[in-house]
Amino acid sequence: MRKIGFLGLGIMGRGMAANLVRAGYQVTVWNRTPRACDPLVELGARRAGSIQEAVRASEVTIAMLADPAASRDVALGPDGVVACLQPGQAYVDMSTVDPDTARTIADAVNRVGGRFLEAPVSGSRKPAEEGTLVILAAGDTELYREMQPVFEVLGKKNLHFGEVGQAAAVKLIVNMTMGGMMGLLAEALALGQNCGIDGQALLEVLDSGAVANPMFRLKGPRILVDQHDPHFPLKHMQKDLRLAVGLGDERQQTLPTVACVNETFKRALAAGLGDCDFAAVARVLQAREGGGP
């Protein structure tokens, strides 16, 4: 497959699409806000004036969208992907959605004779730009095999989890774990601040023992200087936590820790931090927010 449609050029999508252009694929791009296509067109992509124009120009269409509502709208709307998908044509949704949304889109694609793969990714802006994402796929196994050259451009690892919906579940589990870790790091640094402990020294201690991990190493210093340019927007993390809690309810699996973390992220969202990096959740926990030192 050399002709690729790419729908959605946000923080993640623009880096992914750019890597495909650089790798020599014929990429046709579409975005709700047309000016987001400009840098990709300058790089060598083709601009589509509509979703269907991108689909018709492509052997496989990839979507990287913000949430389940956007995925459903782009795939299932009257001018969406399914409305013009031809038998045998492929659609790969790499957005983070709930399993029900993935299955609904898959069913619609299959009904018109198309082929569907869900393939959400683990990673943020920098891995998207560097082509080092982890791709979590499920669905059509033959399409998964055909997508290997594409996935190798976009990521450092990809796995197949069986039936559609399973990859969506894995992605929510990954992100709820990451959100929980971030919430705990933010609380740890806030408590340290309240106790008068040097934040950098505390991070060094955390990085020297069993809880050492790349996310703390990357995000901890940014929390200390309150610098939160978005690599993974807080509003998207809160969305994923909400979806994880919903999946737990559906499966009758209690998730008390995730539910509590979600409430903290909801506070941060209400405080207007949605477009900041998800590490900005620390702002609602810092001592100065509560009148401390």
The residues that are catalytic are: 171
Among 238, 225, 102, 266, which Cα is nearest to 170's? 102
Q: Which stretch of DSSP H or E encloses residue 171?
A: helix 166-194
What distance in Å separates the CA atoms of residue 154 and residue 268, rounded to the nearest whole number?
31
Integer Cα distance of 266 and 274 in angstroms = 9
Q: By three-state DSSP, how is residue 97 classified? A: coil
Q: Quote the CA–CA distance of 92 and 137 in Å, as a whole number.
A: 9
Residues 6+ apart with CB under 8 A from 200: 221, 224
The residue behind tokens 């976009």 is 154
Residues 6+ apart with CB under 8 A from 227: none
- Closest residue by Cα to residue 113 from 145, 93, 89: 89
| Cα distances (Å, whole numbers) of residue 14 to 55, 122, 131, 256 | 18, 16, 12, 35
